[in-house]
Chain A
């Protein structure tokens, strides 16, 4: 909105005030995310800029907090850094373990949510779908219902959802469950919980992509002799793939960032990055958390860039111009 030439001085003043307000709001949005990056290179164990940092003295900066991420929980942190030292990092370091757990839980939760969610979105976007509104409301509700309610419900139920380890079910699922054969304190429990939380995002993004999808293409494929499977993989999938991928990325980020359900249903073996950060912030707050935060900011920038590129590609494919 450029200012028209006939604007009065008062309107001019108001217009510049408006721009300043907008600038301040953008600063409010972005400053807290950027501020952790320089702070994580602090040479001192403080959560703020030291005078040396403000003077841009190289001594004020260091990588010690990134080093802490490798050495915390390491059996011999001061040993020479040879292959066995690095393999101990991979096997024992607390933050590395948390990262591995977060990654695997996120990956499986994403696969589960994206597969089930995409198939369901296909059904939901058909015009003949019965009870569409009600089912949509149900499937979106994990995003709306407070996470604490979901976590409390799951902590009650997962403690009871057990199979006897020596039964047939126990032999099949026992590996994924806790030692007692329960969903509580197990990797499967966390995966399932995170999949539920990721489903609304997959449903929203995939149905949005499908809303621009020409349903007659399906009939055309059928009439040309394609079976439903071929139709899905050769016709539908390539067109809605950007939507599926951004839904999957949303689901992964949801899992990667989720801490409340983990606090309530996970055991000591399911230590994830957010849980480690949550405990770190509550107990002894050290700049090591800022180092983790910086790494996470870099990851989220990469994810955002991916989603933006996908959306532009999707819009182009569907013939939508602009945003």
Chain B
């Protein structure tokens, strides 16, 4: 019945109303999308493409594949060779490629590629390439005379794997696996540096999140329950750190916490510690945690405050009048109502903490470094592929957290001040 009526309805120019409405909505959708398009294009070009390019670098490295054609061809023809004892033709191809690398000056880049999975190979490649053109058959014995390490099965496995430009090796290295003579194996406990640092980063971020929550909860409650004029004034104390340069805040924490700093001077002045027993609170994990808590605290206070502000005080009063103690009122009535704010603030602080770079780099010393600092370290050592792989793993973790944030809190509820 309803359908029959709507078919009868027509616009002034005789078109069915339903079709005209659909056309108008399509136009409106297109117009809205066109407004967003320039920014989408800009973000695509300057944000998504660079990150995509970085991810590509984390699985692609043709440093060896492009400069060792003879060996690549031999590996292609003999996929099932025994890395423990490669035949003479393989060594012949290797020597031919080494001579070619010397001519084309690609020894460094090829050696670097193998060096990711088999450490210590750059110098072997350089030495081998220098002497390659003087070597005579049988090449196996000749090359092993230059350096017996050329017979290492791990090296041959590494070269066979590197003959393909696309590889998951960098992720394996970033997951603390190493290429031994028997193939990829998990490193011993002492070699698990990368996963350990990931674990440490998450642990430290968790600690910072909990500290932030404990510090933010009473303050947000005070701000939410004070009269507006007073709370606006106090809010400035929360927002000012938010607007102050990160480097300024880091600098002042150095001034406060270093060994000859203000906090230690005060403690000595008050006689709480003696001059020799000054506390080491800077250039270690303590410095990182204190400075990062200070930086991230406003990100916890603001969402908590905006949730607490709209909790009606009558609920708590009702609970008290029904005989609940103040602790029960807090635990069973007030706290559950603040959960959305706790979730929003904690997730945001945790996400921001996991990717933190500047503060640990400046005040963390050797002990207080996080995963971002490791990425930066490998960038500075030109281990670009490994840096990209670690960054790829960090990105995956962040995207999961971001998705969780969107599901639990909603991105549109993100507010600033």
Q: Does A166 reach chain B (CB closer than 8 Å)?
A: no
Residue of B33, B225, B415 with most chain A CB atoms under a 10 A cut-off: B33
> Which residues of chain B from 347 to 380 have a CB within 8 Å of any chain A CB?
351-352, 354-358, 361-362, 372, 375-376, 379
Cα A156 to Cα B372 with chains together (Å): 17
15 extra interface residue pairs, beta carbon distance < 8 Å, beyond A14-B326, A33-B244:
A28-B215, A29-B298, A30-B241, A32-B241, A32-B249, A117-B39, A122-B35, A133-B406, A135-B40, A257-B246, A259-B358, A293-B248, A293-B251, A308-B239, A322-B228
Chain B: CB-nearest residue to A141:
B402
In the complex, what residues of A have CB within 8 A of residue B216's CB?
25
Distance (Å) between the CB of B280 and the closest chain A CB? 16
Q: Does A317 reach chain B (CB closer than 8 Å)?
A: no
Q: Is the interface of B mostly helix, strand, loop or mixed?
A: helix
Pair B251/A153 contact, Cβ less than 8 Å? no
Chain B: CB-nearest residue to A277:
B247
Distance (Å) between the CB of A155 and the closest chain B CB? 7
Q: Does B270 reach chain A (CB closer than 8 Å)?
A: no
Pair B51/A149 contact, Cβ less than 8 Å? yes
Distance (Å) between the CB of B154 and the closest chain A CB? 29
State which of A74-82, A123-131, A169-177 sits at the interface with chain B: A123-131
Residue of B28, B251, B254, B260 with most chain A CB atoms under a 10 A cut-off: B251
Given contacts A123-B35, A146-B354, A157-B49, contact A300 B240 (CB under 8 A): yes
Pair B29/A32 contact, Cβ less than 8 Å? no
Pair B47/A150 contact, Cβ less than 8 Å? yes
Binding site for B on A (CB under 8 A): 1, 11, 14, 18-19, 21-22, 25-26, 28-33, 35-36, 39, 46-49, 112, 116-117, 119-120, 122-124, 126, 128-130, 133, 135-142, 144-150, 152-158, 160, 192-193, 195-196, 199, 201, 204-205, 207-208, 250, 253, 256-257, 259-260, 264, 274, 277-278, 281-282, 285, 289-290, 293, 296-297, 300-301, 303-304, 307-308, 311, 322-323
Q: Does B20 reach chain A (CB closer than 8 Å)?
A: no
- Other-chain contact of B362, A136, A139, A155, A281 (Cβ < 8 Å): A281
- Other-chain contact of B42, A32, A116, A124 (Cβ < 8 Å): A116
In the complex, what residues of B have CB within 8 A of residue A11's CB?
326
Distance (Å) between the CB of A52 and the closest chain B CB? 14
Q: Is the interface of A mostly helix, strand, loop or mixed?
A: helix
In the complex, what residues of B have CB within 8 A of residue A122's CB?
35
Distance (Å) between the CB of B346 and the closest chain A CB? 15
Q: Does B144 reach chain A (CB closer than 8 Å)?
A: no
Pair B43/A196 contact, Cβ less than 8 Å? yes
Given contacts A137-B402, A145-B355, A260-B357, contact A304 B46 (CB under 8 A): no
Pair A29/B241 contact, Cβ less than 8 Å? yes
Cα A31 to Cα B253 with chains together (Å): 10
Cα A47 to Cα B262 with chains together (Å): 9
Pair B219/A22 contact, Cβ less than 8 Å? yes
Pair B50/A49 contact, Cβ less than 8 Å? no
Q: Does B234 reach chain A (CB closer than 8 Å)?
A: yes
Pair B237/A152 contact, Cβ less than 8 Å? no
Cα A260 to Cα B248 with chains together (Å): 15
In the complex, what residues of A have CB within 8 A of residue B357's CB?
146-148, 260
Cα A277 to Cα B402 with chains together (Å): 31
In the complex, what residues of B have CB within 8 A of residue A140's CB?
411, 414
- Other-chain contact of B38, A119, A141, A146 (Cβ < 8 Å): A119
Pair B262/A208 contact, Cβ less than 8 Å? no
In the complex, what residues of A have CB within 8 A of residue B34's CB?
123
Cα A186 to Cα B219 with chains together (Å): 45
29 A-B pairs, CB-CB below 8 angstroms? A25-B216, A28-B297, A29-B241, A30-B237, A32-B294, A33-B241, A48-B260, A48-B265, A119-B35, A126-B28, A130-B33, A135-B40, A136-B411, A136-B412, A142-B47, A146-B395, A149-B54, A149-B355, A149-B398, A153-B50, A156-B54, A157-B49, A196-B43, A199-B43, A257-B246, A277-B245, A296-B245, A296-B248, A308-B239
In the complex, what residues of A have CB within 8 A of residue B228's CB?
322-323
Cα A213 to Cα B151 with chains together (Å): 74
1/0 contact string of B14-38 vs chain A (CB within 8 Å) = 0000000000010011011111101
